[in-house]
Amino acid sequence: MLLHVEKKPFEDQHTTKGSFQLTHSSNSAVPVLTNLRQPGQGGDADDVRDLRAELLAAEAAHFAKKNGQALPDVNETETSIAKNSKRPLELTSQADGEEDPDAKRRRILEESRDIDADSEDDSEKDDDDDSDEDSEDDEDAELQRELEKIKRERAEKREREERERAAAEEAERERDIALGNPLLNPKQDFNIKRRWDDDVVFKNQARGTEDKGKKKEFINDLLRSDFHKRFMSKYVR
């Protein structure tokens, strides 16, 4: 609740001083003129305006002024525009709350044509998407089959190599067993091989075990020693 404080002086027989008086906000003075809607701000004033007619009139006035001709009459311009344009009838019918049947029919046909075009575009896009998805599914299935085939071939090759390696190891083991058994290998030679140092100059010289019945001779000449003679008779014959 708003209170308006108003100072009102008054006088009586006892005092001449002023005092304050409280006034309710509803009793205070208010402006009685409301703001009116201007043209161009919406409302009833803009419903019946023919913007196209106004634009054509302004354009005609501009060209007339530019060419140095007389400015056309406003009423004549509006009459010519009304004759050559289809919009005044539509605007008048809209202002009256009714729509011209021909205009309504054209509007409905255009809307239905737009809807059909949109639906055809959507159906074509859906068909393209479906075909793309089907082709992608086919490619994925083909790649999956190729992958399974490669895996199967690799597994078969690995199993075949393992079988061949096992067979080779078994054959090698049997061969080692056959060669290691003297009963299964009659060609085995049991003679002890001579060492490489059996026939040397100073072999068993201190023992005197060789040629016991032969007279020992010592010659301080390697070319006439018994070893040299045996070597020459054996390799340079």
* Distance separating alpha carbons of residues 142 and 148, to the nearest angstrom: 10
User: Between these two residues, 30 and 156, which has the higher pLDDT value?
Assistant: 156
What confidence score (pLDDT) does residue 152 get?
A: 92
- Prediction pTM value: 0.24
**Where in the chain are the domains?**
70-99, 102-182
User: Between these two residues, 208 and 12, which has the higher pLDDT value?
Assistant: 208
Which of the four pLDDT bands, split at 50, 70 and 90, describes residue 64? confident
Question: Each residue of 209-230: b (16+ CB within 10 Å) or e?
Answer: eeeeeeeeeeeeeeeeeeeeee
Give the model confidence (pLDDT) of 157-176 as tens digits: 999 999 999 999 999 988 88
What confidence score (pLDDT) does residue 38 get?
A: 73
Reply yes or no on whether the pLDDT at 143 is more than 80.
yes
Cβ neighbours of residue 47 closer than 8 Å, sequence gap 6 or more: 94, 95
Reply yes or no on whether the pLDDT at 120 is more than 70.
no
What confidence score (pLDDT) does residue 160 get?
A: 94
Average pLDDT, the chain: 71
Lowest-confidence region among 48-57, 60-69, 121-130: 121-130
* Distance separating alpha carbons of residues 216 and 228, to the nearest angstrom: 15
Residues 30-48 have a mean pLDDT of 68
Burial class for 80, CB neighbours closer than 10 Å (0-12, 13-18, 19+): middle
What confidence score (pLDDT) does residue 9 get?
A: 46
Reply yes or no on whether the pLDDT at 15 is more than 50.
no
The Cβ-side half-sphere exposure at 173, using a 13 Å CA radius, reads: 6
* Distance separating alpha carbons of residues 51 and 47, to the nearest angstrom: 10
What confidence score (pLDDT) does residue 168 get?
A: 94
What confidence score (pLDDT) does residue 25 get?
A: 73
Residues 69-85 have a mean pLDDT of 58
